[in-house]
Amino acid sequence: MTSFREKLESGPQLGLGMFYPAPGIIERIGPDWDWVWIDGQHGEMGYNDVLGCVRACNLVKRFALIRVPGHEGGLIGLALDTFADALMVPMVSTVEQAKHIVQAAKFPPVGSRSWGARRPIDLVGRSYSKPENEPLLICQIENDQGLDNAEAIAAIKGVDALFFGGDDMAISRGISMDDPVPGDYFHESWERMAKAASSQGKFSGGVFPSSEAMTKATNLGYRLVVGGGEMFFLASGSKEASDRLRKCIDSTVTNRGKDQGGSSGVY
């Protein structure tokens, strides 16, 4: 099977964000996407939920990426033991933080990750620690300090990609989450991070839900491109259906009222 790295080398791969502990959603709509971002940081997921979502990705043959809550080595190791295809660590702002994460996420001699994960051994045997079997490690850049250090972070052996965190970048700059961010606000920052990653032969990623943003990002060389989260697709699809069907109900009630001299006789 083609690895996640090989797919990313071939071109942009479209990702789906998963925040609810519902593997059935992945089974149903996962095949529409190339990979799934399983959010263990802000999503409503515990370990077993994350593991279930990874298994669902395996079932529908889509790559699984897990975002962990922080930099703690035990959390990183536990997430990697699910045998996901990639791991994303949030709020990476300095070279020192990135080196600490590499130590936790990579096997010797690059890092000091502990060997012995049950699921990888069950699936592929004891050789799962070989470099070709190791998940991609992605550092999420979410403030200007991280952006300033992006090239140095990308240069670290063991870091495979940088991922732009737009919401925390905005709030760190004093932008309220209640205010819409102008469509072109991050273009310069996207370009800076893409250049930092590519200069070190690493991938870049981010969330680009609009057609304009996706076009801009892929033109800059972004490969890990997220199109949106399942909660958005659930909400927008539900709202569209309920609005459409309520119009049918309202039309029926109005027409019955006219037929019965102004009183529907139903309500």
DSSP 31: G
User: What gap in Å lies between CA 13 and CA 43, rounded to an integer?
Assistant: 22
Residue 264 burial (CB < 10 Å; 0-12/13-18/19+)?
A: middle
Answer yes or no: 42 catalytic. yes
- The DSSP line for 172-225 is HTT--TTSPPPTTTTHHHHHHHHHHHHHTT-EEEEE--SHHHHHHHHHTT--EE
Q: Is 87 helix (H, G, I), strand (E, B) or coil?
A: strand
Which residue's structure tokens are 């060997």? 115
C-alpha 267/C-alpha 143 separation (Å) is 55
Q: Is 165 exposed, middle or buried (0-12, 13-18, 19+ CB in 10 A)?
A: buried
User: Distance between CA 200 and CA 51 in Å, rounded?
Assistant: 32
Pick the closest to residue 76 from 61, 57, 59, 92 (CA basis).
92
**Pick from 18, 123, 44: nearest CA to 81:** 123
Cβ pair 94, 67 in contact under 8 A: no
Distance CA(204)–CA(163), nearest Å, equals: 6
Q: Which residues are catalytic?
A: 42
